[in-house]
Amino acid sequence: MKANYGYKDGSGDYFITIDTDKCNGCRECVSACPYGVMGVGPDENDPFSDDEVAFVTEQERKKIKYTCGPCKPMKNRPPLPCVAACGPGAISHSW
């Protein structure tokens, strides 16, 4: 399933989406993120699953626009470290 973490405000939508069907729990995104946005653990959306999947940490869900800001310069945006690290392509950002 697609798990969305984030919020919208007057300036736009700020969501990180994890495709839990693609995520294999490898933790590469956790290692790649310089600001501790990503975590891996039990799938909170599927209590019957034993698989661990990625999520956005609780403390970051209300401020990812700002925390992710340094990864997203207005011009010449480089590949996002979290997205680039994810081999299965499970991570997407709405902005």
Residue (of 51, 54, 15, 21) closest to 38 by Cα position: 54
Q: Report the C-alpha gap between 12 and 38 in whole angstroms.
A: 21
- Secondary structure letter of residue 3 according to DSSP: E
By CB under 6 A, residue 3 contacts ligand SF4: no
Among 4, 35, 62, 92, binds ligand SF4 (CB under 6 A): 35
* Smallest separation, CB 74 to ligand SF4 (Å): 14
Let me know: does 19 contact 90? Beta carbons within 8 Å: yes
By CB under 6 A, residue 54 contacts ligand SF4: yes
Number of residues that bind ligand SF4 (CB under 6 A): 26
Among 39, 43, 65, 90, binds ligand SF4 (CB under 6 A): 90
By CB under 6 A, residue 28 contacts ligand SF4: yes
Let me know: does 13 contact 88? Beta carbons within 8 Å: no
